[in-house]
Chains A and B, each alone.
Chain A
Amino acid sequence: MADAAIEFKNVTKRFGSVVANDHVSMTVNKGEILSLLGENGSGKTSLMNMLSGIYFPDEGEIFINGKPVTIRDPKDAYALKIGMVHQHFKLVDVFTAAENLIVGIDPGKKLNRKEIADEIKEICDKYGFVVEPGKKVYDMSVSEKQTLEIVKMLYRGADILILDEPTAVLTPQESEHLFSVIKNMKKDGKTVIIITHKLHEVLSVSDRVAILRKGRYIETIKTSEADEEKLTELMVGRHMELNIERPEVKNKELRLSVKNLNCVNSEGQQVLFDINFDLYGGEILGIAGISGNGQKELLEAIAGLQKTLAGASVIYYDPEADKKDEDGKSAGMEMIGLSPRMIREKGIHLSFVPEDRLGMGLVGSMGMTENMMIRDYSTASKSLLFTDKKKPRELAEEIKESLGVVTPDISTPVSRLSGGNVQKVLVGREIAAAPAVLMTAYAVRGLDINTSYTIYDLLNEQKKKGVAIIYVGEDLDVILALCDRILVLCDGHVNGILKGTEARKEEVGLLMTALKDKRREETAE
């Protein structure tokens, strides 16, 4: 057997009550390219952060080159020749490439920019990078920044290189180039670990694949013996029967029609490509996908928080409209171009439970009562000067009562409540607004089982009332059990819409990780 570069023995890391890594024992060989594969929240990044000195394990041991080590901070990691390229680059925008490279090393040494530039060139020539030493980071493209990060690690003498989702921000051509560089580094004897969830990349670049699922280590297999189906199965695990109701609602009415939705994010990259789907009252449409594949932008575009490219259309059909044509459809209302406030003023009953509960959903320093008021303080009160607190207080009491929110008092700042209770407050408020369309993003993230089931029941109750629900989730078992239809997003494309009762877990997993070939070629062009 080859020498081990890294060995984890029973490494455990907890964040409060959440176990990020549960007794992980695995080995990385010297001079190999290892893919670390897993869904969101499977503990890939936190495991690697324990190598780079960002986190410290609660239990277990780490061996580097056969010796037990203690990595308390990034300095220790450098001393052990471990370098990690984080998903969010750790670069200073107003510094040049060269300056970023030498930050933190040899503080007493003279700052000779010419000499550093020569050293950079040497590394670049050796592995096939292109870095302009004098270029400022704010002038660089994402791919240039990533290259700089990798060169930075090599400059610091890293022998073990960890790349966290390196291709998430790259075009296919840039990814190809990155892989060739990684292979050059392997030839030079470096050990490379790539954190990823993209199967085709795993298969094309790595020697072995280690799979994590829900914080646990599953196994490591040779890439030559793996294919997409097998990896998906290992990654998502076997299908688990969950005891979640899926009531059938008859007479579904078209409620929302999304057409040609394209979005560009703040970095100028396109994140949504030609999204088309219909949403009916009385159904739960699940949106499955690795996080960061366009879910956030999709919901925000519908809610009026995200700009869309020309040609997009989101038509809302009011369930209570008087005028209905022969098909029983009401006249639609275009939502694109409306701000959230205008959407509400037009009488569109849209509720949105955003992913960032305390950032976008609630005001952490305010109590439940005030948070109830945020939605309609401006219209709810008849007085010109004063707001009406009576009704919101009643609503807060009611939500506290019916959802069992654990809080000392309804005026206690919601940021002091636990994650589950915060979520109950938010969901309770949004449902109390009697929505026709309810969008939820990761509604059960961080919640315990019982609270999660309370949320599922609430959603089902709304569904029975004829509400159209969009449920963005990460646990496939839940999506499969709860949703009537499942829309799978991959790289900002609708990669398939499946029936909830018929979909298989492997099928969804594959759609999440591998864009259908036809589309992938289109993007590459």
Chain B
Amino acid sequence: MMQNFVTLIRAAVFFGTVIMFGCVGETVTEKAGNLNLGVPGIMYLGGIASLSSVFIYEGSTENPNKAVCVLLALVSAFVASSLGGLIYAFLTITLRANQNVTGLTLTIFGSGVANFFGGSLNTLAGRFEQIAVPVTSAAFRTTLPFSDSLGIVGELFFSYGFMVYLAIVFAVMTHLFMNHTRRGLNLRTVGENPAAADAAGINVNLNKYLAICLGAGICGFGGVYYVMDYIKGTWANDGSIETLGWLAVALVIFTTWKSKHAIWGAYLFGILYWLYLYIPGLTRSSQEIFKMLPYVVTVVVLIVTSLRNSRDKQPPAALGLPYFREER
């Protein structure tokens, strides 16, 4: 029983970390008033960029340096994802394309690109072999040295790779930035009322561009964590990044656009997602009902906040709308 509980929590943390990155990144983007539905695609881009760069590095040196591996994975993922964000930003801000359509296209584009290169890497690795980047993956999965000696506490809280904690740090820092700095206030103004931001002398487009690219970069880390830790440095063409990406978007709604809630919300989604494994007597079909739970709670949160009409829990007022200075 106890062991079951620990396994469930650990599974939830692995799962939650991927979507926490996605959720925090998307929150930054949405606070600037842009709904980027390209999160799954961006996660794909981040994942494949880190995997391929590290694969080349590990294959070209005798003794790959762990620190270099980790840095290379993170930097390449951030750059690739931000470029994905930049495409989206250019289309929606400068060309004023429809945000939903652009975002969905980015998802299709990202998954296509990633699976193309992922498949190619598998081929490169050999006909029957799976691609593997053992050194990097091990570095990502290194836990704190004392976690083994702390029993259940150690297992529950300290038995994870560093990115689990990095996700929490990002969530906290985003919260502090949004609510306790003037730059964060400016960014939120852009998402709430771009005309007011403009009249207050804030560069609306610059803020949007920065927020979207940075947000996409953070989403990309979710892809890195998925590839390096969650599936241990391999590639799978099974579309599970996409599932996680959509859950990250749902999590933004669940947290009512407050990144601090992503810290527990992400793990809750993880628990709900894996719960079916721990409920005895489920058949294949009744499992699926349990897998719906994260989506169901998101819908419930939407209904409750709308019913209560709580103004502080609404999406940014100008979310999804293009902005251009009024001309008659």
Taking beta carbons and an 8 Å cutoff, which residues of A are in contact with B? 15, 18, 20, 52, 54, 73-75, 78, 84, 86, 90-95, 99-100, 102-111, 136, 138
* A104-B201 Cα distance, complex, nearest whole Å: 6
Closest to A139 in B: B311
B178 CB, min distance to chain A CBs, angstroms: 11
Closest to A55 in B: B327
Using A107-B186, A109-B182, A111-B180 as known contacts, say yes or no to A91 and B201 having CB atoms under 8 A apart: no
B325 touches A54 (CB 8 A): yes
A/B interface sample: 21 pairs, CB < 8 A: A15-B327, A18-B328, A54-B325, A74-B198, A90-B195, A90-B200, A92-B193, A93-B192, A93-B317, A103-B185, A103-B186, A103-B196, A103-B197, A103-B202, A104-B200, A105-B182, A110-B182, A111-B180, A111-B185, A136-B311, A136-B312
A107 touches B196 (CB 8 A): no
**Chain A residue contacts of B199, Cβ below 8 A:** 52, 54, 74, 84, 86, 90
* A104-B203 Cα distance, complex, nearest whole Å: 9
Interface 1/0 per residue, B307-328 and A, CB below 8 Å: 0000110100100000001111
Closest 6 A-B residue pairs measured CB to CB?
Answer: A104-B200, A90-B196, A75-B201, A92-B192, A90-B199, A15-B328
* A20-B328 Cα distance, complex, nearest whole Å: 10
**Chain A residue contacts of B181, Cβ below 8 A:** 110-111
* A34-B198 Cα distance, complex, nearest whole Å: 26
B188 interface hit (Cβ, 8 Å): yes
B230 CB, min distance to chain A CBs, angstroms: 36
* A75-B185 Cα distance, complex, nearest whole Å: 17
* A3-B202 Cα distance, complex, nearest whole Å: 32
A246 CB, min distance to chain B CBs, angstroms: 32
* A259-B46 Cα distance, complex, nearest whole Å: 67
**Chain A residue contacts of B311, Cβ below 8 A:** 93-94, 136, 138
**Chain B residue contacts of A107, Cβ below 8 A:** 182-183, 186
B92 interface hit (Cβ, 8 Å): no
A99 touches B200 (CB 8 A): no
B115 CB, min distance to chain A CBs, angstroms: 36
Closest to B193 in A: A92
B198 touches A94 (CB 8 A): no
Interface 1/0 per residue, B165-185 and A, CB below 8 Å: 000000000000000111101
A104 touches B192 (CB 8 A): no
* A106-B197 Cα distance, complex, nearest whole Å: 14
B189 interface hit (Cβ, 8 Å): yes
Closest to A152 in B: B200
**Chain B residue contacts of A105, Cβ below 8 A:** 182, 200-201
* A501-B139 Cα distance, complex, nearest whole Å: 92
**Chain A residue contacts of B189, Cβ below 8 A:** 92, 95, 103-104
**Chain A residue contacts of B196, Cβ below 8 A:** 90-92, 100, 103
* A106-B183 Cα distance, complex, nearest whole Å: 9
Closest to B201 in A: A75
B328 touches A90 (CB 8 A): no
Using A90-B195, A93-B311, A111-B185 as known contacts, say yes or no to A104 and B328 having CB atoms under 8 A apart: no
* A299-B109 Cα distance, complex, nearest whole Å: 50
Give chain B interface residues in 134-188, CB to chain A under 8 Å: 180-183, 185-186, 188
* A18-B192 Cα distance, complex, nearest whole Å: 32
**Chain B residue contacts of A102, Cβ below 8 A:** 182, 185
* A70-B183 Cα distance, complex, nearest whole Å: 27
**Chain A residue contacts of B192, Cβ below 8 A:** 92-95
B200 touches A74 (CB 8 A): yes
B86 CB, min distance to chain A CBs, angstroms: 23
A45 CB, min distance to chain B CBs, angstroms: 10
Interface 1/0 per residue, B278-314 and A, CB below 8 Å: 0000000000000000000000000000000001101
**Chain A residue contacts of B180, Cβ below 8 A:** 111
Closest to B317 in A: A93
* A78-B328 Cα distance, complex, nearest whole Å: 24
**Chain A residue contacts of B327, Cβ below 8 A:** 15
**Chain A residue contacts of B328, Cβ below 8 A:** 15, 18, 20
B182 touches A74 (CB 8 A): no
A146 CB, min distance to chain B CBs, angstroms: 14
* A20-B181 Cα distance, complex, nearest whole Å: 41
Closest to A106 in B: B182
A104 touches B195 (CB 8 A): no
**Chain A residue contacts of B326, Cβ below 8 A:** 54
* A410-B198 Cα distance, complex, nearest whole Å: 40
**Chain B residue contacts of A109, Cβ below 8 A:** 182
* A20-B327 Cα distance, complex, nearest whole Å: 12
* A15-B182 Cα distance, complex, nearest whole Å: 36
* A106-B185 Cα distance, complex, nearest whole Å: 11
A92 touches B182 (CB 8 A): no
B193 touches A104 (CB 8 A): no
* A105-B193 Cα distance, complex, nearest whole Å: 16
Interface 1/0 per residue, B191-213 and A, CB below 8 Å: 01101111111100000000000
A89 CB, min distance to chain B CBs, angstroms: 8
B164 CB, min distance to chain A CBs, angstroms: 30
Instruction: Output the residue of A78, A92, A107 with the most chain B CB within 10 A.
Output: A92
A90 touches B185 (CB 8 A): no
* A276-B193 Cα distance, complex, nearest whole Å: 40
B317 touches A103 (CB 8 A): no
A72 CB, min distance to chain B CBs, angstroms: 11
B54 CB, min distance to chain A CBs, angstroms: 37
* A100-B202 Cα distance, complex, nearest whole Å: 13
B314 touches A104 (CB 8 A): no
**Chain A residue contacts of B201, Cβ below 8 A:** 73-75, 78, 104-105
* A138-B192 Cα distance, complex, nearest whole Å: 13
B204 CB, min distance to chain A CBs, angstroms: 11
Instruction: Output the residue of A15, A107, A108, A138 with the most chain B CB within 10 A.
Output: A107
* A75-B201 Cα distance, complex, nearest whole Å: 5
* A285-B188 Cα distance, complex, nearest whole Å: 49
A104 touches B197 (CB 8 A): yes
A34 CB, min distance to chain B CBs, angstroms: 22
B119 CB, min distance to chain A CBs, angstroms: 41
A358 CB, min distance to chain B CBs, angstroms: 14
**Chain A residue contacts of B325, Cβ below 8 A:** 54
Closest to A75 in B: B201
Using A54-B325, A78-B201 as known contacts, say yes or no to A90 and B182 having CB atoms under 8 A apart: no
**Chain A residue contacts of B186, Cβ below 8 A:** 103-104, 107
Using A92-B193, A103-B189, A103-B196 as known contacts, say yes or no to A111 and B312 having CB atoms under 8 A apart: no
**Chain B residue contacts of A99, Cβ below 8 A:** 185
Closest to B316 in A: A94
B312 touches A103 (CB 8 A): no
A104-B200, A107-B186 given; 4 more Cβ-contact pairs under 8 Å: A18-B328, A93-B193, A93-B317, A95-B189
**Chain B residue contacts of A75, Cβ below 8 A:** 201
* A54-B199 Cα distance, complex, nearest whole Å: 8
A245 CB, min distance to chain B CBs, angstroms: 32
Choice from A20, A74, A91, A108 contacting B193 with Cβ under 8 Å:
A91
* A108-B185 Cα distance, complex, nearest whole Å: 11
A135 CB, min distance to chain B CBs, angstroms: 13
Closest to B202 in A: A104
* A78-B327 Cα distance, complex, nearest whole Å: 21
* A88-B51 Cα distance, complex, nearest whole Å: 51
A94 touches B314 (CB 8 A): yes
Instruction: Output the residue of A95, A104, A138 with the most chain B CB within 10 A.
Output: A104
